[in-house]
Amino acid sequence: MAKADKPSYQALAAELDHILVELQQADIDVDVAVQKYERGLQLIKELEVYLGDAENRVSELKAKFQG
């Protein structure tokens, strides 16, 4: 996925929040729950990458302006 096509952190987090709400429903089908759980794990990985990239950018900026 190209950087311009990359969803925002907020969009990814909102989708994860929505999945969490759905998984808390007592009447959710087991197969659907497993699919949503898998998507949730995928979103968590994407969010971790997003945060790691942001952390790297901040570190680079700090290094640039400190010395």
pLDDT band of residue 6 (cuts 50, 70, 90) is confident
Domain that holds residue 34: 27-67
Residue 67 has pLDDT above 80, yes or no: no
Answer whether residue 44 is part of any domain. Answer: yes
pLDDT confidence tier of residue 4, bands split at 50, 70 and 90: low
The total number of structural domains that make up the chain: 1
Residue 17 inside a domain? The answer is no
In a domain, 34, yes or no: yes
Give the C-alpha separation, 67 to 22, whole Å.
Answer: 49
Whether residue 46 is contained in a domain is answered as yes
For the segment 8-27, the average pLDDT, to the nearest whole number, is 96
pLDDT in tens, 25-61: 999 999 999 999 999 999 999 999 999 999 999 999 9
DSSP states along 2-66: -GGGPPPHHHHHHHHHHHHHHHT-TT--HHHHHHHHHHHHHHHHHHHHHHHHHHHHHHHHHHHHH
Whole-prediction pTM: 0.82
